[in-house]
């Protein structure tokens, strides 16, 4: 119940403020259907609810964006996360969410002083040689001040706003309940999985509130580029870094949006675009840990055409298995395998009621639009736009890591074209994708999968009698619930049959190897049918059986 979620007077006051803002922007019906209006009325907060949109030239996405701006930190951050969900929202919504700038009115330095004194153990002026009271930048979570260490190093202090954590947690409590209400009352939005979306957002926001965590991200990425002098990540000064403040080296360079400054400095814009793209592609497709917000504000250009990356509050993670799936999808699209591409998309989106035939037809049509073109003639922006439209049309909501990767690719394409109008993201990405695919098909990787599959098959064979015995006991005791799904039963039977077949081949192969080794050590006998010959025949049969097992596992993995 909402009353259980909103357990304190401050939460009721905040809920009343949120409802008022939503109604001013024409979302009175949503306030009413969610049950918020009834709850507030029951505790003495009167609301004048109207479902009519205000008479305004602004579109619905614009009104949502303006409401989020008015509601402050949590909702601004929510909008920024939603801007990464190109699989859920159309271009007009994404454009509005991207306009939610993380800027806020700066606090006076004296308002930060008590918190700084507590974190540093002394007055800031005694810890640092110099601290500039004027902020370099002010966001909704933290603001940045320039400083100089006692050793003379130029640094920046990123200081979290006092009291921001409590305000964010109150909003997250309310949003958690709203997400549940949306799933219950708005059937048309259930496929978006609002609760899962909010859980991802809450995790991301709490990480961003921890300024120490951001520095761990920075150091991990710095280590990945330790051998690349073209990419710089600011050094972290851990002795002054904690959850409420971090201290990093000051970057002296040209801001990512200053194209005139680039021209004046004589930097090579085409080279910068290529180096920036290669850096992000390496992070995503090779390292599996990437800067997920590569917009111009988080980039500085340095002399010798070097690039500095800053602000690692938003990062993405891709497991090796996920990177392999991305490569498999692109492999299927390149090979015109619409059925396999549809399988991967369905697996990514979870258990949704999707018409498979219609999905395959649309994937085939998507492939036709780009198949056969030279790489340099493929417009990645259009390709990604068509792919995300296909996902939305079939109500396929991606997992958070994939949505973040997709949005990062779109942002990277935009950044590259800002530097170089002829920038070709596809050409830059192809070498990384080929290496990912080759690594996935490497003999060592296939052998490891074969060993894993054999181990799993043996485990199934060992545990199957006991499972069957318990099943029969449950059936005799009339305690066996029955739910028949023929398609799933057929899939399970096929998988079990394949596992048993592979186990049998594995056992026979092992027996042949052992038997052949014994026979070949037997003394005496020669000629065509002597022990040595029979041992060689057995060994050859074992090799054939082993190869057959590997091929079976490889084909099963592809299907």
| 438 burial level (CB within 10 Å; 0-12, 13-18, 19+) | exposed
Q: Closest by alpha carbon to 405, among 526, 529, 491, 319? A: 319
DSSP per residue, 384-404: HHHHHHHHHHTT-PPPHHHHH
The percent helix, strand, coil of the chain (3-state, each to 5) is: 65, 10, 25
Q: Closest by alpha carbon to 556, among 436, 439, 456, 467? A: 456
Contact between 402 and 322 under an 8 Å Cβ cutoff? The reply is yes
- How far is Cα 78 from Cα 178, in angstroms, rounded to an integer? 13
- CA-based R_g, the chain, Å: 30
- What pLDDT does 379 receive? 67
As beta bridge partners, residue 157 has: 145, 247
How crowded is residue 374: how many other Cβ atoms within 10 Å of its Cβ? 8
Q: Which residues of 407-419 are buried (b: 16+ CB within 10 A; e: fewer)?
A: bbbbbbbbbbbbb
Q: Closest by alpha carbon to 514, among 555, 559, 545? A: 545
Contact between 211 and 156 under an 8 Å Cβ cutoff? The reply is no
- What pLDDT does 1 receive? 43
Q: Closest by alpha carbon to 221, among 211, 239, 236, 207? A: 236
- How far is Cα 130 from Cα 150, in angstroms, rounded to an integer? 8
How crowded is residue 106: how many other Cβ atoms within 10 Å of its Cβ? 18
pTM: 0.69
Domain boundaries, given as residue ranges, for the chain: 2-101+166-200, 320-440, 443-477+485-558
Element spanning 269, H or E: helix 269-281
Mean pLDDT, the chain cut into blocks of 10 residues (559 residues total): 50 82 84 71 59 67 91 88 83 87 82 95 94 92 94 96 91 85 74 82 90 95 95 96 96 92 93 93 91 87 94 88 81 78 81 75 83 62 78 81 84 88 82 75 67 73 77 67 56 66 70 66 53 66 71 61
How crowded is residue 485: how many other Cβ atoms within 10 Å of its Cβ? 9
């Amino acid at each position: 119940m909402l009353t259980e979620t909103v357990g304190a007077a401050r939460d009721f006051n905040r809920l009343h403020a949120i409802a008022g803002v939503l109604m001013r922007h024409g979302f009175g019906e949503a306030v009413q259907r969610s049950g918020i209006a009834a709850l507030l009325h029951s505790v003495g907060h009167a609301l004048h609810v109207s479902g009519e949109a205000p008479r305004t030239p602004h579109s619905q996405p614009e009104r949502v964006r303006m409401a989020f701006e008015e509601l402050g930190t949590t909702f601004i951050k929510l909008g920024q996360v939603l801007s990464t969900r190109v699989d859920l929202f159309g271009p007009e919504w994404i454009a509005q969410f991207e306009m939610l700038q993380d800027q806020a009115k700066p606090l006076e330095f004296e308002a930060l002083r008590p918190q700084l004194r507590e974190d540093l153990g002394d007055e800031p002026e005694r810890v640092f040689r110099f601290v500039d009271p004027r902020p370099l930048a002010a966001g909704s979570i933290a603001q940045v001040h320039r400083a100089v260490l006692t050793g003379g190093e130029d640094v920046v202090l990123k200081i979290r706003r006092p009291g921001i954590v409590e305000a964010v947690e109150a909003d997250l409590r309310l949003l958690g309940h709203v997400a549940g209400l949306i799933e219950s009352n708005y059937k048309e939005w259930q496929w978006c999985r609002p609760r899962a979306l909010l859980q991802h957002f809450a995790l991301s926001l709490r990480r961003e509130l921890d300024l120490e965590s951001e520095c761990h991200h920075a150091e991990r990425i710095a280590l990945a580029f330790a051998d690349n002098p073209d990419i710089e990540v600011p050094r972290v000064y851990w002795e002054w870094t904690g959850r409420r403040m971090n201290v990093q080296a000051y970057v002296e360079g040209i801001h990512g949006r200053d194209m005139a400054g680039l021209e004046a400095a004589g930097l090579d814009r085409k080279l910068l675009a290529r180096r920036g793209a290669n850096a992000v592609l390496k992070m995503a497709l090779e390292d599996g840990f990437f800067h997920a917000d590569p917009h111009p504000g988080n980039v500085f250009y340095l002399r010798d055409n070097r690039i500095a990356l800053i602000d690692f509050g938003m990062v993405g993670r891709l497991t090796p298995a996920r990177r392999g799936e991305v490569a498999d999808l692109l492999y299927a699209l390149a090979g015109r395998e619409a059925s396999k591409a549809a399988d991967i998309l369905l697996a990514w989106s979870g258990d949704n009621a999707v018409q498979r035939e219609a999905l395959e037809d649309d994937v085939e049509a998507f492939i036709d639009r780009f198949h056969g073109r030279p790489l340099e003639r493929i417009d990645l922006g259009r390709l990604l736009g068509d792919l995300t439209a296909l996902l939305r049309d079939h109500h396929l909501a991606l997992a958070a890591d994939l949505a973040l990767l997709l949005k990062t690719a779109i942002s990277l394409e935009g950044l590259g074209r800002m530097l170089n109008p002829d920038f070709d993201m596809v050409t830059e990405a192809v070498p990384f994708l080929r290496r990912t695919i080759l690594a996935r098909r490497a003999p060592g990787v296939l052998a490891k999968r074969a060993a894993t599959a054999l181990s799993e098959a043996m485990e199934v064979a060992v545990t199957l009698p006991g499972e069957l015995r318990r099943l029969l006991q449950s059936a005799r005791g009339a305690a066996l619930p029955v739910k028949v799904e023929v398609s799933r039963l057929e899939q399970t039977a096929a998988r079990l049959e394949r596992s048993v077949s592979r186990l049998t081949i594995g056992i026979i192969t092992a027996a042949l190897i052992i038997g052949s080794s014994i026979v070949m050590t037997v003394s005496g006998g020669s000629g065509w049918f002597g022990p040595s010959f029979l041992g060689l025949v057995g060994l050859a049969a074992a090799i054939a059986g082993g190869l057959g097992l590997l091929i079976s596992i490889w084909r099963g993995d592809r299907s």
